[in-house]
Amino acid sequence: MKGKRLKKTANSFMKNVAILIFSQLLIKVLGLIYKLVITNVPGFGDTGLGYYSAGYQIYALLLTLSSIGIPSVISKLVSERIAIGDTKGAQRIFSVAFKFFTTVGFVLSFGLFFGADFIATNILNVPDVAHVMRVLSPAIVFVAMSAVYRGYFSGQQNMKPTSVSQTLEQFLNCVLSITFVYACVGKDTYIMAAVGNLSTTCAIVITFVYLLMYYKHNRLNTKGSMPSPERGKSNKELLKTILGISIPITVSSLISVISGVIDTATVSNCIQIAYESTGMGKEALEALAMESTGILSKVDTLVSFPLAINLAFSTALVPAVSEALAIKDKKTASRRLSFSFFASLIIILPCSLGFIALADPILKMLYPTASNGAGVFMIASVSMILTALSQTMTGGLYGVNQSKIPAIAAGLGAVIKFILNMILIRNPNIGIYGASISSFVYALIVFFISYKVMNRCVNMHIKFRKHILKPVLSAIGMGLIVLGAHKLFNMALGNTISTILAILTGAISYCALILFSKTLTKEDILMIPYGTKIYNILLKLRIYK
């Protein structure tokens, strides 16, 4: 009976991972499409992307205070209640959280709308960014409400509402962004950026309506619920429980977002300081600062693509680990954590090495009118490995009630990042590279602390040869093949076709190296969605015996 339950929960975990991977990939593809299109719109370019992302970073900071981390908290608490049959307690957690975070969202929406001019002028030193922040402000309250809904369903091991709503939001954002920006061709760059961000608000409002309708038809059935451990608590006491978990998670997420704000604010100011001795006027310095910010945003968009795949493991880990620990099943919790860590490396390493090998060709292919930033892209691709592993560790830490650790690690990393930014970016010989270097140091600190604590809480059984050495060697081999393939194809073909063929060659060669080196065991393959079918094919091909 226990074996059946373990198999069922393992299948549920991987099914949720598969759903999230698919939705996150689609989301990032749509995000990449509209960023590519609007960046190449006449009059937009890196400078327009700079305005676009500078305002968005401030919005994202307030968004974190109102909603980020909330899905994980509600998911954790709801899954724990459901694991012991307490559906009434799960429903009450949702109700209390929804009322509180809706109120917080309203306050922050008004704060951003009326404080936009002050932030743009006194913090970013680029007054026109205020227009971008103002059009984004109404979205905060709707994101806060949507976050509670997503956590509620994730806690039931139902990832459909999260994946569908996020995909719908990005699809609408993609279509509306392109439409709105093209409608404003010929206007000032900051106006184009503001109108582009207006699409975000519109998409979020429509997505919230979808979640509201889904909730009305899919509420938990509280009939026959087990006695609730919270039945004697007042709403105030229950809210205190929710905040006791959510505040550390929110602080951790907040500090991660602050890392982006640190880049936005320091680049905006320090680039102007670094080049003011050249005699450039204020308007030219602002444009240069926004161009540098645009390069960072462009690179972040590309790097976030593989990170989105990895995020699926982190998101699915929270309720999966919480559920296992709620019924004292440490072995299952450890197995899921170990597999997720290994899977993160398998996914992220080839992406990192591929980006490093093809940094310049990829930027020229995707951003033909704004292709600067290959060096920044390379450094960010290395940091991406540490960030992916930290994502997985963070999901695990939330599941084992160590939500303060990611906040502490991110806080320490953010302080060091700020100091390094202020020193490095002001140096005209380093400039924008300073932001990438400090981001690497930040990612290293967060990963090291998170891994140490996670391994102490749940023994992850990481084997150096299998889990680290083999994936690293396979990725390096693939990187060298990709580099050689691009040079070979480029002799006869243009950059775009050569880059696409090199990427395809890399994907095929990496899969071959992973399989022939036996990096994945039979058990690993069977954990993958459709793993049984894949393994049977490998047996027929005599790759596995």
Residue 287 maps to a domain: yes
Cα distance between residue 388 and residue 257, in whole Å: 15
The percentage of residues in the chain with a pLDDT greater than 90, rounded to a whole number, is 5
Q: What is the pLDDT of residue 224?
A: 61
Residue 504 maps to a domain: no
Residue 324 maps to a domain: yes
* Amino acid at position 229, single letter: P
Residue 93 maps to a domain: yes
Specify the 3-state DSSP secondary structure of 155.
Answer: coil
Q: What is the pLDDT of residue 2?
A: 44
Q: What is the pLDDT of residue 66?
A: 65
* pLDDT of 448 higher than 60: yes
User: Mean pLDDT across the stretch 86-101?
Assistant: 82
CA-CA-CA-CA torsion sign (429, 432, 434, 437): negative
Q: Containing domain of residue 116, as a range? A: 16-222+229-462
185-189, 209-213, 277-281 — most confident range: 209-213
Q: What is the pLDDT of residue 227?
A: 64
DSSP output for 169-236: HHHHHHHHHHHHHHHTTTS-HHHHHHHHHHHHHHHHHHHHHHHHHHHHHS----TTPPPPTTTTS-HH
Number of helical (H) and strand (E) elements in the chain, helices listed first: 19, 0
The closest alpha carbon to 417, from 314, 196, 263, belongs to 263
Q: At what angle do helices 87-122 and 45-66 cross, to 10 degrees?
A: 140
Residue 282 maps to a domain: yes
- Spatial contact of 111 and 39, defined as CB atoms under 8 Å apart: no
Residue 536 maps to a domain: no
Cα distance between residue 524 and residue 530, in whole Å: 12
pLDDT digits (tens, 9 = 90+) for 488-497: 988 878 888 8
Which segments of 327-403 does DSSP mark as H helices, in order?
A: 330-357, 359-366, 374-399
Cα distance between residue 92 and residue 69, in whole Å: 19
Which residue has better confidence, 139 or 534? Answer: 139
Q: What is the pLDDT of residue 20?
A: 66
Kindly tell me the burial class for residue 62, based on how many C-beta atoms sit within 10 Å of its own C-beta (0-12, 13-18, 19 or more).
Answer: buried
Would you place residue 328 in the very low, low, confident or very high pLDDT band (cuts 50, 70, 90)? Answer: low
Would you place residue 6 in the very low, low, confident or very high pLDDT band (cuts 50, 70, 90)? Answer: very low
Cα 332 from chain centroid?
26
Residue 120 maps to a domain: yes
* pLDDT of 149 higher than 80: yes
Q: At what angle do helices 374-399 and 282-326 cross, to 10 degrees?
A: 30
Residue 87 maps to a domain: yes
Q: What is the pLDDT of residue 8?
A: 47
* pLDDT of 316 higher than 70: no
* pLDDT of 3 higher than 60: no
End-to-end CA distance of the chain: 30
Which residue has better confidence, 199 or 228? Answer: 199
Cα 206 from chain centroid?
22
pLDDT digits (tens, 9 = 90+) for 391-408: 778 777 776 777 778 878
pTM for the whole structure: 0.65
Which residue has better confidence, 55 or 480? Answer: 480
pLDDT digits (tens, 9 = 90+) for 108-122: 888 888 888 888 888
- Total domain count for the chain? 1
* Cβ neighbours, 10 Å, residue 416: 15
- Spatial contact of 73 and 242, defined as CB atoms under 8 Å apart: yes
* pLDDT of 507 higher than 80: yes
Kindly tell me the burial class for residue 7, based on how many C-beta atoms sit within 10 Å of its own C-beta (0-12, 13-18, 19 or more).
Answer: exposed
* pLDDT of 263 higher than 80: no
